[in-house]
Amino acid sequence: MRYWLMKSEPDEVSFDDVIKAPKQTVAWFGVRNYQARNFMRDAMSVGDGVLFYHSSCAVPGVAGIAEVASTPYPDASQFDPESHYHDPKATQENPRWISVDVRAVEQGRYLPLTEMRANPALEDMVLLQKGSRLSISPVTQGQWNAILKLLREGKR
DNA sequence: GCCAACGTTGGC
DNA sequence: GCCAACGTTGGC
């Protein structure tokens, strides 16, 4: 059992979109970074905890709790010439990019990035390191516990 | 819209 | 295999 933070632009897929989806589950597609892909391919397991993070928006932050809901499978968008995520070097025989399914589990309050930065318990998070741009990053048990506590308590 | 930081590409 | 040039990310 591991924990992850996964970034999504809410204009594309928000946590509310996941809640409204059938079975509260969506395919996590469009990852085009090898390190993030390798996390999905090599380290994720069904049931792993996911912090659903909203990036590139007015108030970036953790929007909800989710979980990994499938094993990895080829990301369909890499084969679609019409897709923004099309990869001409990917073939059905040799897919380059993968997806996993993600299921919404719990919506706490919205936890803004500014509040995470101000919390000493979270200062080692990969997300918060200078220059860190990884769209999928590992979260420790301690960081996970601290964030769940913040999500479940009222605004401070 | 700016721009620092990072990742990828491709010539050599 | 180096590294300059280019493209992307993402907070501000």
Question: Rounded to an integer, what distance in angstroms lies between the CA atom of residue A156 and that of residue A150?
Answer: 9
List of protein residues whose beta carbon is under 7 A from strand B: A 33-35, 130-133
Question: Rounded to an integer, what distance in angstroms lies between the CA atom of residue A7 and that of residue A22?
Answer: 21
Q: For residue A12, what pLDDT is reported? A: 93
Q: How many Å does it take to go from CA A68 to C1' B1?
A: 36
Q: For residue A93, what pLDDT is reported? A: 87
Q: For residue A88, what pLDDT is reported? A: 86
Q: Per-residue b/e over A129-145, b at no fewer than 16 CB within 10 Å?
A: eeeeebbbbebeeebbe
CATH numeric code, A3-151:
3.10.590.10
Q: Please answer whether residues A97 and A90 qualify as being in contact, where contact means their C-beta atoms are separated by less than 8 angstroms.
A: yes
Q: For residue A153, what pLDDT is reported? A: 81
Domain boundaries, given as residue ranges, for chain A: 3-151
Q: For strand C, is any atom closer than 7 Å to the CB of A103?
A: no
Q: For residue A110, what pLDDT is reported? A: 96
Residues of chain A predicted below pLDDT 70: 154-156
Q: Count other C-beta atoms under 10 Å from residue A12's C-beta.
A: 11
Q: For residue A81, what pLDDT is reported? A: 87
Q: For strand C, is any atom closer than 7 Å to the CB of A20?
A: no
